[in-house]
Chains A and B, each alone.
Chain A
């Protein structure tokens, strides 16, 4: 087996057995599953308890089919006041003319009661008003909230995976450099084999994570029934996310390895990684902003600019329909960026990884022959 594959295999085999990896995977699976059930849990219908004193019940149910109404009959106004103050009822209709509440009435309930009352009175004198017909002219609108929701979840997952794996790469590089294992390794391997194997191995682990999360997410969404609100083309979006993860990961992980090779101690990893962490965060913020305004100029432009495109384009793909050529152009730009970063990162890594000791400056490493 070739050196690069041996290195990759070691990364996978050692990581996959650690408790951290297994627990991390379980936690993210549970989180994603919970997220898929969340709309069901929080979208419980409104329940109103209403009272009547010497009044007819209003036909509220017909006007608001999603809400639930419970009616109670109360003997007199004094009893009604007591029930309202005790919180037993939300509102009491007295003599068909006034409504008792504890403070201000809930706006939706207020509007509903006023409207239905008016309708009932008008109906009593023989006037009926046909309700306004509402028609959406945006054919996509039905899925809009589902699409935005999917985009928000996907970009969060992408962000966490990219950041997490980039940090893993950095820590692995410093582990080898700091303990001088790298000297034994590089007396038999070429630097690019070691670097490539590490990036490949940890990338495969990232993909395992990501595929698990997406599978659990889709499974849970189907089980909870919210998948019925999903727009068509979700498989394409998911496949797109995988490709974008691979591209984004190759970009960030290579930079991460290059930066990490400048230091020799784990304590210094955070500091040396700061610019890269910031870059990943900014990419996330731009992408998160794009979930709100997926057709806006910022989202459109940034979906072509590497490395922002690695998170912004999947957002656009989830939130709206993106023509295939645009996706292709954006991916091509990202691939070019990845190749450039690989060339740069490999050079820095090769020059820096054997220079143990104090933190090296990037400029210094690039200038040295």
Chain B
């Protein structure tokens, strides 16, 4: 289990912020083996800072990160796979050599690195580009190579900062499949994204950060339950003042009145609606992650 607890980080102040800027204000969450954890939040909320601290490229002012009960050190992190924001690859290096090189840096022997590279290139569909320089590849293919670099040493934990940004839907699917495979193999995967539908579709659990704090965390189902379902009623041409005394809000669209509410007696509402006019729709709607997110960071 990857456990992040009480991370605090303040960046030194510049001329624009003399007191410094608080980037993390007590971030805590856990990711279990085989769990895909979606990290969402507005720009500057602290996602990248958290990931960089997990990967040890940034030091927290306080707090800790532990993997399987042990505080992380360089030796443990060697077994992590990492994709930084605004990815980095050697543009002029060949695809296969690059993946192999990172495999060796992560401690694989020459033969093992070669084999892992071959397997990955095959699976990610970049095998025929093995001898091309990275800069000759399309963005989607570069991203696949980047993922291969993160995966080559068969990492125990995956930390990916915005892995899906800038990809077309097909590349997104390829990447998602690769991540799900690893996840099924028992690897905890953390990734950040602004594509909330994608996070909703892929992730077992979600953490929403805002201004350096974790404002909501849990499975998507838990978050939905906490948010509460919304009852939506559409009544056509109702008698005026039909909703008086009912909970929620009414919006008017032409001759249709739409009532939205998260509480109240649904049967009572239905009776009132039927009496007032022609009921076109009566249903309970689950909040989308986007709605939960907007609510959480508001």
Contacts and interface: CB of A to CB of B under 8 A. Distances in A.
B105 A188 contact: yes
B57 A186 contact: yes
A269 to B, nearest CB: 16
Contacts of B213: none
A3 B106 CA distance: 9
Contacts of A211: none
B52 interface: yes
Given A6-B104, A188-B105, A179 B57 contact: no
Given A187-B77, A187-B80, A6 B101 contact: yes
B104 A184 contact: no
A18 B80 CA distance: 32
Contacts of A121: none
B122 interface: no
Interface string A1-19: 1010011001001100010
Contact of A183 (B12, B55, B78, B101): B55
A342 B91 CA distance: 28
Interface in B44-76: 52, 55-58, 74
A181 B57 contact: no
Q: Is the interface of A mostly helix, strand, loop or mixed?
A: helix
Interface residues of B, number: 31
A14 B92 contact: yes
Given A184-B84, A187-B57, A188-B78, A179 B101 contact: no
Contacts of A189: 105
Give the interface size class of chain A. 20 to 34
Contacts of A6: 101, 104-105
Interface string B82-95: 11111111111100
A144 B184 CA distance: 78
Contacts of B104: 1, 6
B102 interface: yes
A188 B57 contact: no
- Among A176, A188, A189, the most chain B Cβ lie within 10 Å of the Cβ of A188
Contacts of A23: none
Nearest to B85: A180
A165 to B, nearest CB: 18
A183 B84 contact: yes
B88 A182 contact: yes
Contacts of B56: 186-187
B82 A181 contact: no
B77 A180 contact: no
- Among B12, B88, B149, the most chain A Cβ lie within 10 Å of the Cβ of B88
A355 B58 CA distance: 9
Contacts of A1: 104
Contact of A368 (B12, B58, B85, B101): B12
Contact of B87 (A13, A180, A185): A180
Nearest to A358: B14
- Among A3, A180, A185, A186, the most chain B Cβ lie within 10 Å of the Cβ of A180
A180 B84 contact: yes
B57 A183 contact: yes
A354 interface: yes
A1 B110 CA distance: 9
Contacts of B78: 187-188
A181 B102 CA distance: 10
Contacts of A188: 74, 77-78, 105-107
A14 B82 CA distance: 23
A18 B92 contact: yes
A72 interface: no
Nearest to A179: B88
Contact of A10 (B52, B85, B91, B101): B101
B89 A187 contact: no
Given A187-B82, A188-B78, A190-B74, A354 B58 contact: yes
Contacts of B92: 14, 18
A175 interface: yes
A108 to B, nearest CB: 58
Contacts of A183: 52, 55, 57, 82, 84, 88
A180 B105 contact: no
Nearest to A184: B82
A227 B292 CA distance: 84
Interface string B133-165: 000000000000000011000000000000000
A186 B89 CA distance: 14
Given A183-B57, A183-B84, A190-B74, A3 B89 contact: no
A179 B87 CA distance: 6
Contacts of B90: 14, 175, 179, 181
Interface string A154-192: 000000000000000000000110011111111111100
Given A6-B105, A187-B57, 14 more contacts: A14-B92, A14-B93, A18-B92, A176-B88, A180-B86, A181-B90, A183-B52, A187-B55, A187-B78, A187-B82, A188-B78, A188-B105, A188-B106, A190-B74
Interface of A: 1, 3, 6-7, 10, 13-14, 18, 175-176, 179-190, 354, 368
6 contacts: A179-B86, A180-B86, A187-B56, A188-B105, A188-B106, A354-B57
User: Can you list the 7 inter-chain pairs with the closest CB atoms, starting with the nearest?
Assistant: A181-B88, A179-B88, A180-B88, A183-B84, A180-B84, A187-B55, A183-B57
